[in-house]
Amino acid sequence: MPVFRAPRDRAIAVFDSGVGGLTVLAALRRRMPREELVYLGDTARVPYGTRSPQVITRYAMNNARFLGSFDPKLLVVACNTVSAVALPALSAALSVPVLGVVEPGAAAAARVQRGHVGVIGTSGTVRSGAYQAALARLCPGARVSAAACPLFVPLAEEGWTEGDVPREAAHRYLDGLVAAGIDTLLLGCTHYPLLRGPIAAAAGPGVQLVDSADSTAEAAAALIRERGVARETEGAGSERLFVTDLAEGFGPLARAFLGRPAPEPVVVDIS
Ligand code: DGL
């Protein structure tokens, strides 16, 4: 028989296409040290960023169904591609509140922009127009320019975050945005914070970088507080990590995204 747990004691569930969303998990933990966090990385099917909206939505539904078995009080979609493409479908299908990274990320960029926001993300994210639409709503006077940076995901996963290759890739992707006069650059992908060095160097000192992880964690904390379901128990919260495949080198990669050693992952079949 399922054990009844009061809403405030239930977990916050988080999913991403893979390990990249651990940047969001780290931000959630910093902001909410007492909460129980359950993370699913769909490492068997990553990347999502190059897939069609239909497939992204189907994968997102599978992930949400698996995490639903933990009866969470909140579902955080750490993946920018899923947040951009499938958030309305997820929200319509689930009874648990669903928070994506697009709205908080766009809100953070809207607060600091000075007239022209650049957005970078996967092809799926940029093609969806979700960040562009959110920014048009949140800062209607601002110009928005977007560029897909497909090589950044494999570079981050290779740990190739410094040196000539990422520097060259960053210039190829960003020079057009810089020439167009962006003053703010929204990192609309879980992996891009790892490439902050070359991205910042290519963007130049006049461009403010914004990433959605911290603003999403802030929005998640506000949401559970407003609903009266924030945990009140003393002591540190727990973390559980599920993956759909455990490839070689998972530990060091997870550590790079999380910024500390990751909990032991449990492999699950969610298909
Ligand atoms: N997690 C994805 C995102 O934030 C990047 C990796 C992928 O393409 O699946 O868009």
pLDDT of residue 7: 86
Which pLDDT score is estimated for 235?
81
Confidence of residue 236 (pLDDT cuts 50, 70, 90): confident
Query: Mutual orientation of helices 80-93 and 102-112 as an angle, nearest 10°?
Result: 130
Residues with CB under 6 A from ligand 1: 16-18, 20, 46-49, 79-81, 121-122, 125, 153, 189-191
pLDDT band for position 232 (50/70/90)?
confident
Instruction: Using pLDDT thresholds of 50, 70 and 90, give the confidence band for residue 3.
Output: low
Atom of ligand 1 nearest to the CA of 153: 6
Q: What is the pLDDT of residues 111-136, one digit of tens each?
A: 999 999 999 999 999 999 999 999 99
CA of 265 to the centre of ligand 1 (A): 19
| pLDDT band of 1, cuts 50, 70, 90 | low
pLDDT in tens, 31-85: 999 999 999 999 999 999 999 999 999 999 999 999 999 999 999 999 999 999 9
Residue among 39, 46, 52, 131 whose CB has most ligand 1 atoms within 8 A, to mutate? 46
pLDDT (tens digit, 9 = 90+) per residue, 193-229? 999 999 999 999 999 999 999 999 999 999 999 999 9
4 band by pLDDT with thresholds 50, 70 and 90: confident
Ligand 1 centre to CA of 124 (Å) is 9
Q: For residue 187, how far is its CA from the centre of ligand 1 (angstroms)?
A: 12
Among this protein's residues, is 149 annotated catalytic? no
pTM of this prediction? 0.96
The residue-averaged pLDDT of 92-118 equals: 98
Task: For a ligand 1 pocket test, name from 14, 80, 244 the mutation site with the most ligand atoms within 8 angstroms of its C-beta.
Answer: 80
pLDDT confidence of 10, banded at 50, 70, 90?
very high
Task: Quote the mean pLDDT of the chain.
Answer: 96
Q: How confident is the model at residue 2 (pLDDT cuts 50, 70, 90)?
A: low
Mean pLDDT of 136-156: 97
Average pLDDT on 172-183 reads 98
Mutate to test the pocket of ligand 1, among 126, 191, 211, 243 (most ligand atoms within 8 A of CB): 191
Is 189 an active-site residue?
Answer: yes
Distance 14 CA to ligand 1 centre (A): 14
Identify the active-site residue in 12, 82, 155, 189: 189
What is the predicted pLDDT for the residue at 5?
Answer: 81
Sole residue written with tokens 């993370």: 39
State the distance from the centre of ligand 1 to the C-alpha of 125, rounded, in angstroms. Answer: 9
CA of 2 to the centre of ligand 1 (A): 34
Exactly one of 12, 38, 77, 79 is catalytic; name it.
Answer: 79
Residue 101 CA, closest ligand 1 atom number = 4
User: In this prediction, what percent of the chain has a pLDDT beyond 70?
Assistant: 99
Q: Which domains can be identified in the chain, with CATH numbers?
A: 7-101+214-267 (3.40.50.1860), 102-211 (3.40.50.1860)
Interatomic CA distance for residues 84 and 128, integer angstroms = 6
Residue 92: its pLDDT value, please? Answer: 98
